[in-house]
């Protein structure tokens, strides 16, 4: 039974993702018809990369392309596209340190801290219009080093574009 509980917490923590989406809720997106890819950058240090760069770029672009074409945009390989999708993906070494406080100290000791080192992976996607004005930004904390990295990327992209819609916003009727 204990093994099952440990397995549950390990697997759910692997799938836990923190995704933030920034966009102007008042912006009319109905005028956008096409998109292209801009810069894509991998920030994981070269000696720590476990997935080939070309594969990582392919996974991100495929996920973005599928999501945006599913929303009604058309991919074009031209600088005349209405929107440009750019991204940064990768992992960096992070450290976390906290003071345990009086409840976590040994008798007679008042200053104990704990720390941990970990890899944090992020995927940031920007959609800019022709004037280079940011239209949509997705910031997702995920993993890019597990065998399931492609699905994790797809999940961040899907959740990040969930509210993206080219349909006109419905006007709320005012009561008289």
Backbone angles phi, psi at 7, to 5 degrees: -60, -45
| Global confidence as pTM | 0.74
More confident site: 40 or 143: 40
Domain at 17-97+114-160: CATH architecture: 2-Layer Sandwich (3.30)
Distance of CA 113 to the CA centre of its chain: 31
Q: Where are the alpha helices (DSSP H) in 18-147?
A: 53-70
Selection from 36, 52, 32, 41 nearest residue 85 by Cα: 36
pLDDT tens column, 96-137: 677 666 555 555 555 667 676 656 678 999 999 999 999 999
C-alpha to C-alpha distance for 45 and 134, rounded to whole angstroms: 27
C-alpha to C-alpha distance for 3 and 20, rounded to whole angstroms: 33
């Amino acid at each position: 039974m204990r093994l099952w509980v440990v397995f549950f917490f390990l697997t759910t923590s692997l799938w836990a993702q923190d995704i933030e989406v920034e966009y102007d809720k008042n912006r009319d997106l109905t005028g956008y018809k096409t998109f292209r890819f801009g810069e894509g950058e991998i920030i994981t240090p070269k000696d720590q990369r476990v997935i080939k760069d070309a594969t990582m770029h392919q996974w991100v672009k495929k996920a973005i392309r599928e999501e945006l074409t599913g929303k009604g945009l058309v991919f074009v390989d031209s600088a005349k596209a209405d929107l440009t999708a750019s991204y940064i993906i990768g992992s960096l070494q992070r450290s976390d340190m906290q003071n345990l406080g009086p409840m976590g100290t040994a008798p007679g000791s008042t200053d104990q801290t704990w720390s941990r080192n970990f890899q944090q992976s992020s995927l940031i996607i920007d959609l800019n219009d022709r004037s280079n004005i940011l239209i949509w930004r997705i910031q997702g904390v995920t993993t890019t080093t597990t065998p399931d990295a492609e699905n994790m990327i797809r999940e961040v992209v899907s959740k990040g574009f969930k509210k993206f819609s080219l349909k006109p916003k419905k006007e709320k009727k005012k009561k008289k």
